[in-house]
Structure 1
Amino acid sequence: MFGLEISSVPTILPTLETVLHASFQQLQWIMNAYTIAVTTVLMATGTLADRYGRKLVFVVSIAVFGLASLICGLVEDALLLIVSRFFQGMSGGAMLICQVAVLSHQFREGPERARAFAAWGIIFGIGLGFGPIIGATIVAVSGWQWVFLIHAFIAIVTIALAVTGVRESRDPEAKHLDIAGIATLSTSVFCVAFYITEGPDFGFTGPTGLTVAATAVLSFIAFVLAELHSARPMFDFSVFRIRAFSGALLGSAGMNFSFWPFMIYLPIFYRSALGYDNVAAGLALLTYTLPTLVIPPLGERILLRFGGGIAIPVGLFVIGLGFMLMWAGSGVEHVTWLTLAPGCLLAGAGLALTNTPVTNVTTGAVSSTRAGMASGIDMSARMIALAINIALMGFILIAGISSRLSSALPGALDASHLQHLAERIAGGTAGMSDFPELSLLPAAETAVQNALIHGFRLMMLYGGLSVWIMALVSFAISGESYAARKRSAQNSDEPSCVPRSSP
């Protein structure tokens, strides 16, 4: 359900833009409302699940996710959809945290744990891999509403499986809900995403922009202080002393500097830049998502053989290499999905090599009683990075389009008009008749397409370089720790496996 939700919704964004008359910023918020909402509940869910029972909270979150999906499918306004997506994200985040905590509790050691998380990665990959074509087919056959409504039916089956297959577990020491931490962290993440997304309109250095930025900084400082002074913090900073945990956490963030946020925009590239319809765009997206279906078992084997300090940076490096190949493939004279396919396949493979080992290591590096907290921090890192980078990649796209149009039309448009035109082009809704200034361009349609491709190439370059930096830092933190542990295990003739803690 979670993988399908992530990958099917981006394919219908161009349809939502047309049917609901959504602006480019609203399209960003349709995705960001979900990711920010996930972030708001992650740590609270971990605490609630540890205290009241992971199975109980898991079943409740599935039910609420199905209901929220039903509401998303019934609304007929972009703003209402954004609000509905927020509630869907809250329940989806709770569902995700609980499933990771349940797996961590029921499968605790060595090969059995690796097989369980590999299976989790494959099932996640099924939803992720086939989500684009499922979403596109649903739109073509019925309507965009069923991309959401389908989860109401899947939720019923999932609840039945959870009730019969999950063993209840809890942490007897989890007693208090960290309201201060939840409120301050959520406020900070929201303000950062809002600042990046809406900054071009209200001005990054204007009164509104500075107020939003200051609120983000002060809220984060308040969050850190609240956690440091809490007897039972939802975000226990002491786990960062565990090198394996810290290195894996950078892997969680790294995937969301690159693969996941770009997936939001890739359907727009296929639709707006290459002129594909929904079904063709969905089929092209399979090159990006299908590797996540078949590669996870290899990722777990690499994890068992070399440890997370090697496996996770390698996975991140492969993602970055895929982005650089996409950047190269989008620079040829005649860009098609085939020129991007090698990079898409490699990026998807890198994501699969990283995703399940990251979750395995973060939850395995702490005691099983704190699995909810560990998975909460892991998923918080993912969703915070995703929310920020959805906004940041959108900003890079618009800036790239604007700069190319500005050089092609020097002095013809003022800054605000150019910004508006770039947003319309990014969303695929800028017709030649809407902007007479485009008639000043020789071969106007080609110039617009080139500007759009230029913006996307900047996004690809950002995704590749940023994830390589995260890979390097992750290796620097945890690579040597795992190498030392492996040497120690060999000297004592003990099998090398994922550690439960590493100093």
Structure 2
Amino acid sequence: MSAHFRLPPTTAIQDTLTGPSGRRRRLAVLGICGLTLFMTYLDNTILNVALPAIQTSLACDLTALQWVMDAYLSVLGSLLLLAGSIGDRLGRRRLFLFGVLVFTIGSALCGMAVNLETLIAARVVQAIGGAALTPTSLSIVRDVFRDPGERDRALGVWSGIFGIATACGPLAGGLLVSAAGWRSVFWVNIPLGLATLMLAHRFVPESRASRPRRADPFGQGLMIVFLATVTYTLVQGPRDGWARPSIVTGFVLAAAALIAFVVVELRQREPLLDLRYFRNLPFTGANVIALLAFVALAGFLLVNTLYLQQERGLSALTAGVALLPATVAIAAGGPLGGWLVARYGPCPPMTAAGLLITAGSAMLLRVGSTTPYAGIAAAYVLLGTGLGLVNPPITSTAVSAMPANQAGVASAVAATARQFGNALGVAILGGFLAVGPGPSAAPHHLGNATHLPWAFLCLDGLAVTAVASFTTRRPH
């Protein structure tokens, strides 16, 4: 009976993935994994357009609105490393199916939320499912596509789906909110999730690491404490005051948890995160850039969603259309970034991405309610192109630098950097809005409140360029 439940060896998996029929199955697996990536990223971008409607419906302030985003992002970021190691140990297909199911259930609960507290709780459920999906889907793609050239192309497609989801999100969110209210942005995940479950059950093969790591509950617990306290202090600090005891305590706990995490991981024989991998300069640089780039992406979407709807008075649908220059540029920048990586290595697209983020943010420094849209659209194109260019070299560099038998942990590190960047982007730039007259104030004051976020993103883009120039000088 035990043999019936034994996971098939890697060679058996590959036997089913060779030849013409095997190629079709590999492409099917890529499509299924891409669909989950599309679903999870769409959920983030589609939600941004719905935030003003949620704020009105649930009568909440900017800080509470940030928690709708960061409850998901912080939980997701804190569980990604654990999910990667669980997939390596218990089976990636098994964890993948679990993640799709839980994410779909969480989406249904979000759509049924009766108040802010139940919405935030449902977002946590969503995050548990999303944490199981993101690193596992990338591990499955890497395991299925064994030929290096074919694998690079598959990873390029996988990364490009991020741009497609980003491009679709604001417009889809505007359509749904205008037609059926903010709850519909969560309902849309249900048919996608059910379709993915059926397809994955049929096509995705089981795999796991030949020698998975042991569980590391202490490291995982410290990671959760660090990310949770950092997010809490950055979100609550602008509203409660930075000198408040709870905020100061949060910063102290975050610092202590980070120091303890490093000490514990260095002493573990098989740590949750092997810190020795960060001796690899390109790998470290890729993850730092991932964090910085996704701070910019999350902050850009949050600030612009509020600016377009509450400063310029646009509807959700019109705001989604207004964001198209940025989201289409993000989608187009992904394939271009993949092509540049294949031809010139990761440094040129990463460096160019940072400069474009800086240039686009600089163009928005003096934006107001009467700023001509043509100038705003031009800034969106620059920002979007930079944000699209940066993702393929991040994925390629980070995954290629890690051992093949730890694919789950490898992809989870890069995914954690992205999601932590997302959480920080919402917390930091939302905090900047709260310092000035935020969305709860008269709409015509919001334009002035966006000046500090854009100045911050100028520096963020310069940091991306500097890190890329220093860590990725030669093709990996």
TM-score range, shorter chain: 0.7 to 0.9
Aligned pair partner of 1:465 in 459, 462, 466: 459
CA distance in 1, matches of 2:209, 2:234: 39
Percentage of pairs with the same residue: 27
**What's 1:317 paired with?**
355
- Distance apart, 1:47 and its partner CA: 0.2
> Conserved in 2, the CA contact under 8 Å of 1:366 and 1:374?
yes
Please identify, of 310-319 and 82-91, the stretch whose mean Cα deviation from structure 2 is larger: 310-319
- Is 1:456 aligned with 2:450? yes
For 1:87-236, what aligned pairs fall within 5 Å after superposition?
87-236=125-274
> Conserved in 2, the CA contact under 8 Å of 1:258 and 1:464?
no
> Conserved in 2, the CA contact under 8 Å of 1:37 and 1:86?
yes
> Conserved in 1, the CA contact under 8 Å of 2:293 and 2:464?
no
For 1:383-402, what aligned pairs fall within 5 Å after superposition?
383-399=419-435, 401=436
Give the AA of the match of 2:470. Answer: A
- Distance apart, 1:165 and its partner CA: 3.1
- Distance apart, 1:257 and its partner CA: 2.6
- Distance apart, 1:471 and its partner CA: 2.0
Give the AA of the match of 1:342. Answer: A
Please identify, of 284-293 and 229-238, the stretch whose mean Cα deviation from structure 2 is larger: 284-293
CA distance in 1, matches of 2:58, 2:244: 31
**What's 2:49 paired with?**
11
**What's 1:279 paired with?**
317
SS, match of residue 258 in structure 1: helix
Pair 268,77 (structure 1): closer, same or farther in 2 beyond 3 Å = same
**What's 2:9 paired with?**
none
**What's 2:21 paired with?**
none
Give the AA of the match of 1:365. Answer: A
Aligned pair partner of 2:399 in 346, 357, 363: 363
For 1:16-95, what aligned pairs fall within 5 Å after superposition?
16-95=54-133
> Conserved in 2, the CA contact under 8 Å of 1:244 and 1:309?
no
> Conserved in 1, the CA contact under 8 Å of 2:76 and 2:419?
yes
- Distance apart, 1:108 and its partner CA: 4.2
In our comparison, the structure showing a higher alpha carbon Rg is: 1
**What's 2:32 paired with?**
none
Q: Structure 1: where are the runs of 5+ without partners?
A: 402-421, 432-447, 483-498
- Distance apart, 1:335 and its partner CA: 1.3
SS, match of residue 295 in structure 1: helix
Give the AA of the match of 1:128. Answer: T
Question: Over the residues paired in the alignment, what is the CA RMSD in angstroms?
Answer: 1.8
Give the AA of the match of 2:318. Answer: A
**What's 1:404 paired with?**
none
Give the AA of the match of 1:353. Answer: L
- Is 1:378 aligned with 2:414? yes
> Conserved in 2, the CA contact under 8 Å of 1:2 and 1:124?
no
> Conserved in 2, the CA contact under 8 Å of 1:252 and 1:358?
yes
- Distance apart, 1:102 and its partner CA: 1.4
SS, match of residue 207 in structure 2: coil
For 1:341-360, what aligned pairs fall within 5 Å after superposition?
341-360=377-396
Please identify, of 375-384 and 4-13, the stretch whose mean Cα deviation from structure 2 is larger: 375-384
Give the AA of the match of 1:379. Answer: A
Pair 110,347 (structure 1): closer, same or farther in 2 beyond 3 Å = farther
Pair 209,61 (structure 1): closer, same or farther in 2 beyond 3 Å = same
- Distance apart, 1:248 and its partner CA: 1.2
- Distance apart, 1:20 and its partner CA: 1.0
> Conserved in 1, the CA contact under 8 Å of 2:167 and 2:328?
yes
Aligned pair partner of 1:270 in 304, 308, 312: 308
SS, match of residue 450 in structure 2: helix
